[in-house]
Amino acid sequence: MRIATWNVNSVTARLPRLLAWLEKSGTDVLCLQELKCSAESFPAEPLRELGYEAAVNADGRWNGVAVVSRVGLDEVVTGLPGQPGYLGEAPEPRAVAATCGPVRLWSVYVPNGREVGHDHYAYKLEWLEALRAAAADDTAAARPFAVLGDYNIAPTDEDVFDPAAFAGLTHVTAPEREALAGLRALGLSDVVPRPLKYDRPYTYWDYRELRFPHNKGMRIDLVYGNEPFATAVEDAYVDREERKGKGASDHAPVVVDLEV
């Protein structure tokens, strides 16, 4: 079974690449983030023509998440129980869960945080705590379970091209990394090993300053799985090729193969 996660940075803008990638990659389940569309405008029909159904949580703004599956889509949950809103607003569409065949998955788009000390940074930490609470029961279950998505956190200094360049910035602070440790304490682990098939397996490269050609990236798209999920992993990789060329997202897909 092939499972992947991909921040597409607008499913509408990336639709031709998304459909082509699904066909050539043989992916069974894809978790998407940053849809930038409403639930009504999500391209369900083109995906259905390829044999995929979708669970979508989106409102037309800059966020939005989905689980796209060709192996079943059951027990769908949109949003996190007790999920906070930013500055008292309604909760944003940043999480959706579904059971796809034998596997339970959450697709998540963690708030960016903007800058340390900003209200959005506090919101990010609150949101991560809500995610930890929501994941607890699924983590303890006997079936394979994983939380996939754009975490907007680099787990270690090795996961950024230059730690000094990120000093004092979000994505690398101790509280953010402690939130990841809280997920691991539930029994989840980072199932994408280091090193992979090449050094520095980043998943995100800013469009500016030729960051991708110079491989100045970050590893912030993560797959955290429980023990049944982790022990089923046969292979994992970042599809760097999909970051290349005209019209690419600034993130690359992260792919995990399971024996389930």
DSSP letters, 87-110, are GGPPPPS-EEEEEETTEEEEEEE-
Strands (E) across the chain are located at 2-7, 29-33, 53-57, 65-69, 74-78, 95-100, 103-109, 145-150, 189-190, 221-225, 233-238, 254-258
Cβ atoms within 10 Å of 86's Cβ, excluding its own: 16
Residues in binding site for Mg(2+): 7, 34, 150, 152, 250-251
Residue 72: pLDDT band (50, 70, 90) is very high
Q: Is the pLDDT of residue 126 over 70?
A: yes
What value does the mean pLDDT take over residues 150-164? 96
Q: What does the pLDDT read at residue 197?
A: 53
Catalytic-labelled residue, pool 28, 150, 190, 257: 150
CA-based R_g, the chain, Å: 17
Contact 29, 100 (CB under 8 A): yes
| Catalytic residue, candidates 151, 190, 202, 251 | 251
Active site includes 198?
A: no
Vertex 258 angle, CA 255 and 260, to 5° = 150
pLDDT of 227: 97
pTM of the predicted model, to two decimals? 0.97
Contact in structure between 143 and 104 (CB atoms under 8 Å) = yes
Residue reference for tokens 């894809």: 30
What integer is the mean pLDDT of 152-165?
95
Residue 58: pLDDT band with limits 50, 70, 90: very high
10 Å CB burial of residue 228 (0-12, 13-18, 19+) is buried
What are the sequence ranges of the domains in the chain? 2-258
**Hey, which residues does 160 pair with through a beta bridge?**
218
Q: What is the pLDDT of residue 24?
A: 97
pLDDT band at 195 (very low <50, low <70, confident <90, very high): low
Residue type at 130?
A
pLDDT attached to residue 201: 82
Look up tokens 């994408």; give the residue: 192
Span 70-77, mean pLDDT?
Answer: 98
What is the pLDDT, as a whole number, of residue 199? Answer: 59
109 is catalytic: yes
Give dist(CA 49, CA 218) in Å, integer: 34
pLDDT above 90 (res 222): yes
Q: Would you call 251 a catalytic residue per the annotation?
A: yes
Q: Distance between CA 205 and CA 213 in Å, rounded? A: 9
Is residue 25 predicted with pLDDT exceeding 90?
yes
Over residues 154-180, the mean pLDDT reads 96
C-alpha–C-alpha distance, residues 124 and 179, integer Å: 10
d(CA 177, CA 173): 6
116: three-class secondary structure by DSSP: coil
Amino acid at 25: S
Confidence of residue 84 (pLDDT cuts 50, 70, 90): very high
CATH of region 2-258: 3.60.10.10
pLDDT at residue 32 greater than cutoff 70: yes
pLDDT the model gives residue 69: 98
pLDDT at site 147: 98
The pLDDT of 202-227, averaged and rounded, is 96
Cβ 61 vs Cβ 85: under 8 Å: no
The pLDDT of residue 200 is above 90: no
